[in-house]
Amino acid sequence: SARGRRRAMEFTWRGSPSLGPKADVKGFILSQYGNYGPPPGHCYDQLCSDPLWQDNPALEDYNVPIMVQRFEAAVNKKAAWFR
């Protein structure tokens, strides 16, 4: 989107022309998908099928290092949308 290219994900919404700036609402866009939600691969809702964090190294499916790496990548990608 144009906002993403300009790194202008913050905005001010003027809620009432008659009330002026005191009624302004500051906002920002949290997702490239137009909704509020977790980064890809980190949805733990009952309707999601993303893997859960397995933080016991004795478990066969221990996955903390890869989960941290994926989460950091998602945060860094989102951070690039802002100035």
SS3 13: strand
- 35-72 per-position pLDDT tens digit: 667 888 888 888 889 999 999 999 999 999 999 999 99
Q: Helices (H) and strands (E) in the chain — how many of each?
A: 2, 2
Sign, CA dihedral 72-26-28-7, equals: negative
The DSSP H or E segment spanning 68 is helix 64-79
Backbone angles phi, psi at 38, to 5 degrees: -75, 160
Q: Give the global pTM.
A: 0.61
- At residue 63, the pLDDT reads 96
